[in-house]
């Protein structure tokens, strides 16, 4: 084997053979080296920026969206049989139970049984919504009606109406505002129908001179007495 000194001499000779070329093209080699270095640095910065765009901003966007959603407020008008009726501000995820509690809860003259049957405490509130809690007098006088779909489902045996009459308005239970929606029925006639209760048949409206026959003909297919 050749001694180490021989290897060193050979390597030195190899390097010395490039010196004339390096001396002749020194400027060109320097420029080429600088250009290559710039390309490498640019490539590293480019890929680093792409990685940042694909990862960090996604987390930031999710965080900002969550923050905005948490900060968003809605305004609700809570009135009726509550202790402190007022216009209150809530976060966008508030529910009806939150509105009732913030208004101080139900009063003693609230129809609590009616509220429990018809008000969905878990429903999410909507901005500019009005929540009215009925008094016992409201339900007794027919100003606020029971949700028929809930009653029919929870107590199916209390009603004797036929299936084809479900869509008809019960003139023995409808409020004045609902009666006013019937064709040919205004506020005055709606009050007359309301005050003439109870009716055993829809024809009683004409027999008792509550409305005229011509008006009755317009609404007879839209009303019932049970």
Axis-axis angle for helices 26-71, 4-24 (nearest 10): 90
Mean pLDDT of the region 204-212: 92
Q: DSSP secondary structure string, 164-196? A: GGTTSEETTT--HHHHTTSTT--HHHHHHHHHT
Distances (CA, A) of 69 to 63, 64, 91: 10, 9, 9
Sign, Cα dihedral of 202, 208, 214, 219: negative
Distance CA 145, CA 166 (A): 15
- pLDDT on residue 37: 79
For the chain, list the domains and their CATH numbers: 71-136 (3.10.20), 160-224 (1.10.150.320)
pLDDT reading at 115 higher than 80: yes
Tell me the pTM: 0.39
Q: Which of 47-51, 149-153, 174-178 has the lowest mean pLDDT?
A: 149-153
Distances (CA, A) of 189 to 90, 177, 217: 42, 11, 15
Tokens of 224: 């019932």
- The string of pLDDT tens digits covering residues 35-86 is 777 888 888 788 777 666 655 455 555 555 555 555 589 999 999 999 999 9
Whole-number average pLDDT of the chain: 78
């Amino acid at each position: 084997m050749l001694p180490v000194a021989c290897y060193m001499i050979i390597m030195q000779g190899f390097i010395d053979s490039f010196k004339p070329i390096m001396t002749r093209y020194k400027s060109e080699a320097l420029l080429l080296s600088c250009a290559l270095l710039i390309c490498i640095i640019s490539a590293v910065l480019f890929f680093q920026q792409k990685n940042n765009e694909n990862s960090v901003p996604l987390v930031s966007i999710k965080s900002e969206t969550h923050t905005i959603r948490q900060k968003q407020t809605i305004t609700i008008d809570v009135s009726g049989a509550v202790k402190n009726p007022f216009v209150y501000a809530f976060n966008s995820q508030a529910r009806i139970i939150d509105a009732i509690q913030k208004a101080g809860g139900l009063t003693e003259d609230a129809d609590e049984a009616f509220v429990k049957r018809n008000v969905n405490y878990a429903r999410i509130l909507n901005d500019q919504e009005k929540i009215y809690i009925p008094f016992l007098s409201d339900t007794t006088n027919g100003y606020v009606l029971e949700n028929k779909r809930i009653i029919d489902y929870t107590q199916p045996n209390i009603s004797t109406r036929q299936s084809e009459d479900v869509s008809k308005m019960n003139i023995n239970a409808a409020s004045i505002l609902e009666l006013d929606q019937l064709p040919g029925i205004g506020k005055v006639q709606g009050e007359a129908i309301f005050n003439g209760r109870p009716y055993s048949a829809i024809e009683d409206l004409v027999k008792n001179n509550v409305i005229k026959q011509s008006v009755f003909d317009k609404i007879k297919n839209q009303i019932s007495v049970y």
